[in-house]
Every structure is written in structure tokens, then in C-alpha cells.
Amino acid sequence: MVSFTVAAAQYPVDRLEGWDAYEAKLTRWVEEAATAGAKLAVFPEYGAMELASLDSATMGDLALSIETVSSLLPRVDALHAELAGQTGMHILAASAPRKDADGRFRNAARLFAPNGRSGVQDKLVMTRFEREQWHIAAGSTLRVFDTALGRLAVTICYDSEFPLLARACTEAGAQVVLVPSCTDSLHGYWRVRIGAQARALEGQCYAVHSPTVGEAEWSPAVDVNRGAAGVYGPPDRGMPEDGVLAIGDEGAAQWVLAEVDTARVAELRADGGVLNALHWTEQPGAAPLPPVEIVDLR
């Protein structure tokens, strides 16, 4: 498939009454995206932290709320896999802390294909609050996902602000970079948005930004959430002059939809007004890129 609709969530963090409320909410959101014609739905970083509200005894404690969310991940992932199959969509689930065999937590985004296959991208560069307060460990592997929609990469929030990560993915063939985020200020939102747009420019590709929105006073983890979802491309021929294909209303709970055409990526990389992707190595001091693992979800 060359052309498809992508849906980027401006996803509110809610206090949930129970698992049934979460299942109903997620199902409603996914079905709304599918009804709008989306073939790819992107949820934000740490959107899964709303699941901490399912345990009222621990939801106000940061460490215990992280434990609660991690313990629910198998059930959460089973639901996403089911919804991907039912709707025929690829779904990037809201990232969540995952407790690993070494006892440490990592921030994991999981991509579900409608054929039942799935892949995981961990966040690689931790922000200050993740290092100093959450004690979330960094992942170690950068992946590109080969799907029926094309090659997709994921740079979680802060990762999008480091160009070599996305560059390694675009050199491995990524045509669309997914950028789930969670930021508690407009400063943070703009850092991620500027990063996403810069990655689209450098890689002559699409970037899809999905943030958490709204307030969750009950949560010590995601109490304030600012941002707007957006779909970006390089400002070049056949694209909007500012590179903005779609942008949401900041703070609103909504889907933001845009049409993505991966053939345009190939065209611009071969014969754009500029050739950023081709000319990357001409930069003085261009660094060796990190290795990339290709995951087949076709």
C-alpha cells in the first residue's frame, strides 16, 4: 500500500472506574479512527498511565502506579491486538513502563499489525524526570518495522530530539516516523514538535506526532498534559509549504487525520527541491549511525 490515512491521537488521561471503562474507551477511540478511514492509529507516550487509576490504593504513589501499569500490560496488549485484527488497522499503543527481567522498567511502545504480528520500540534517551524521579532505564535497540503500509519507525518523545536515531531509521528505509509524546508544558510540546518536523525535513519523510492532553490531578506521573497532534512532511514539492499536513487544537481530545503517500517519500528523496536525505554525509563530522534491527510485521 502506498497511500493511506493516518490518525494521530490527542489522547486525554482519564481516571477510570475499572477495566471495563478502559476497554470501552480504547475501543471507542480505535473504532472512531477506523470509521474515519484510518489504516494507522498512533497513541501517545505514557497514555497507558491512566491504568494506574484502576487501583485507588496505589494510584497516588509514583513507584506503585508504575508497577500497577506494568502488571497490566499483557492484558492491554491482548486488547490492542484484538482491536487491530477487528478493524484492519495498524495500532501504535500508548507507551507504558514495562518491568524487565533485570527488575528495571523501560518505556515501551508496541506496534500491532492486523495480521496478529507485533513489535516493540523502547525509548532510548531518558528525560530528566524519567532518570531522576521515575527511574526508567534506557532501551538499547533501535528498530524499523516492515509493514503492509511501508516501513515505520518510532522515536518516543525525547528520542525525536536526537537526529541520529531517526536518521538511522530513514537510512534503513523508514518512510514514516511515529512520535508519541507526553509533555507537561508548551515548552516541552514545542521541543517535540520541532524535533518531529526537523526529522521529517532531514529524512524527507513523514512524522506523526501524538501527545497526551488534559489534566489528571490524581496522578503523580501525568498530572498535566499539553500538546497538539500533528502530521508533518518536508516542506517541498507536493507538500504544504510549512510541512504541516494536519494539526490539532491544543489541549482538545481528538483524532487528527492526514493522508500519507509513501511514493512521495521516494520521489522527494530522488528528486526533491533539495536532497537532504542524500546529502546527509556531506556534513562535516557526520557521525556513524546506530545499528537498526528490521522487524517484519507483514
pLDDT at 286: 76
Is residue 1's pLDDT more than 60?
A: no
Residue 284 has what pLDDT? Answer: 86
Model-level pTM?
0.96
Please tell me the predicted confidence (pLDDT) of residue 2: 85
Q: What is the rounded CA–CA span in Å between residue 191 and residue 139?
A: 21
The CA distance from 81 to 66, in Å, is 22
Cβ contact 263:3 at 8 Å: yes
The pLDDT tens digits of the residues spanning 38-93 come to 999 999 999 999 999 999 999 999 999 999 999 999 999 999 999 999 999 999 99
As a whole number of angstroms, the distance between CA 136 and CA 95 comes to: 13
Q: What rounded mean pLDDT belongs to the chain?
A: 96
Give the Cα separation of 6 and 22 in Å (integer).
Answer: 23
- Report the alpha-carbon distance of residue 208 to residue 64 in Å, rounded: 31
For residue 291, the 8-state DSSP code is: P
pLDDT of 287 reads 76
